[in-house]
Amino acid sequence: MLEPKSARIANIIIILSLSVASLYFAAPFLIPVILAALLAMLLNRVSEMLEKKGLNRALAALVPVALVLGVVVLLVFVLSWQVNRMTDDFDNMKETVTTKIDALRSWVSETLGIPKAEQAKMLNGGERQATQQTSTVVFSVINTLTSIAVDGVLIIVYTYLLIFYRAHLKKFILRIVPDDKRQDADRIVHKSVAVAGQYLIGLFKMVVVLWIMYGIGFSIAGLEGAILFAIICGMLEIVPFFGNFVGNLIAILAALAQGGDARMVLGIVLVYLTVQFLQTYILEPLVVGQQVNINPLFTIMGLVAGELLWGIAGMALAIPLIGIIKIICDNIPQLQAYGALIGPAGTRKNRTSFLDSLKGMLRRK
């Protein structure tokens, strides 16, 4: 027989293992639902405002969803327009890439002593293997696009229904907790909805500002399709730490494919460093603020765990979900220690010191 303490630890391990396994295998169902829930938290305030102005609940839930859908359609149109513009220069880009590959093969031949004929044999073998796998890749792409389309429709439907039935869902949550805990549960629900909505609004504002800054910077650097790569860099911002780096790496590779010289590449790197500085010390404190106050350790751990469980979608959802978990922990006395652990070790003075210095200089003037 296990001792009570050992049995408790064993039960906790079993529950955690089953929970992680459930999250992993239920990903196709959970990802659209959670994305829709976050969108519903974002649009909840708009729906409530429309209801107060006399609109019935069905239309009040439909209007904000339709607005989001319109923004997505507009974004897809802009991306398609930019891609079509770059397609006109595809032949020139292909010729540039071929020239650079030939230069690379010459360097390999001179430096490593591998003749070009031997390199050609190696490449031809890879080409034959790639040709055999082409049909598999095509089917995989088709399946992926179909899955994205289906998930997109589900997210729209889920978002509308979650907004429409928000009062019904709140009553359910309050009914499943003891009577003496309902006030705390109500406070947790309100804070979670408010924080998630404010975080997403701040993130959207920051992404728009990043689009503008990257668009201007890439245009000055001479990158063809600057708007396209600015949108890519901005959208990748939903994945902290890694998103901007990956987006700018894509922009650098595109510059090389377009025949860009070292000056263009250096310009893109300078744009990246400048935007990173402005984002870290000005945009995030002013626009995003302290809605999701998580220390860097748990931010990175959340991103890694999210990628392992749900891939890129998990990385995008990790931060707001950890923020909601922190709110729950902060408002339940037995879990407050965990909320403090997830939160920052101290204040955000180091993060906002630049802004404070700037404000002080303006006051003195």
Q: Which two tokens stand for residue 94?
A: 């292909």
Lowest mean pLDDT among 132-141, 151-160, 172-181, 240-249: 132-141
User: Would the pLDDT of 348 be above 50?
Assistant: no
pLDDT of 57 above 60: yes
Q: Quick one: how far is CA 103 from the chain centroid?
A: 37
pLDDT tens for residues 1-30? 456 667 777 777 888 888 888 888 998 899
pLDDT at residue 352, rounded to an integer: 46
79: nearest Cα among 247, 229, 251: 229
Place of tokens 């293992």: 17
Could you count the other beta carbons within 10 Å of the beta carbon of residue 46?
18
Q: pLDDT: is 350 or 108 the higher one?
A: 108
Residue whose structure tokens are 């396209």: 228
Q: d(Cα 296, Cα 153) in Å, to the nearest integer?
A: 34
Q: Where are the domains of the chain?
A: 27-164
Quote the tokens at residue 137.
């890749």
Cα Rg of the chain (Å, integer): 25
Please provide the average confidence, as pLDDT, over all residues in the chain.
Answer: 79
User: 78 falls in which pLDDT band (50, 70, 90)?
Assistant: confident
Q: What type of residue is 52?
A: K
Identity of the residue numbered 18: L
Mean pLDDT of 146-154: 86
Q: What is the DSSP track for 161-228? A: HHHHTHHHHHHHHHHTS-GGGHHHHHHHHHHHHHHHHHHHHHHHHHHHHHHHHHHHHHHHHT-TTHHH
More confident residue, 162 or 240: 162
**Crossing angle between the packed helical segments 182-221 and 262-278, to the nearest 10 degrees:** 150
Rounded to an integer, the average pLDDT of 279-283 is 76
